[in-house]
Structure 1
């Protein structure tokens, strides 16, 4: 279940992903499959090759891309999420959802 974001944030993320940009969306998220994780960051881009190339710098594998909808994305949790957000200069996301 996702919560903690506004509709306009989701719409902006979808638009950026659809425009071929690497886009980030962090929100609260609870899933019993991932105990101890209270947030997820979705990093999406409709240009799969661009998303794969972006992910390589962080050791993310193409097989990890969620392709179930029109917005292909990596789901980042835990230390991957923290380290990537910091490296991408998005520490405000960590503060907002900490």
Structure 2
């Protein structure tokens, strides 16, 4: 279940994706499959080759991309990997507690 996110944040994320950028969106999220994880970061790009190349830098596999028909395909980052990548990308404002 997603919560703690504003529509404007989702719109901005989608606009960045539409412009071909690698875009980040973090929100609070609870799922029993991932105990201990309170947030998820979605990293999307409309250019799936670019997204895959970006993911390789962090050991993410192309197969892990969540493919969406609406054009907003993305990686889901959770836990320690999420924190590692956000810090490496110098996106500290998205490190939610």
Asked if Structure 1 and Structure 2 have the same fold, meaning a TM-score greater than 0.5 normalized by the shorter chain, the answer is yes
| Aligned Cα root-mean-square deviation (Å) | 0.8
1:45 — aligned with what? 45
Gaps of 5+ in 1: none
2:58 — aligned with what? 58
Task: Report the Cα distance in structure 1 between the residues aligned to 2:89 and 2:17, rounded to whole angstroms.
Answer: 17
- Map 1:1-98 onto structure 2 (within 5 A): 1-69=1-69, 70-94=71-95, 97-98=96-97
Q: Number of matched residues? A: 96
Q: CA deviation at 1:18?
A: 1.7
| Moved beyond 4 Å, runs of 4+ | none
Q: Which consecutive residues of structure 2, in runs of 5 or more, have no partner in the other structure?
A: none
Cα deviation per residue 1:40-66 (whole Å; 9 max; x = unaligned)? 000000100000000000000000000
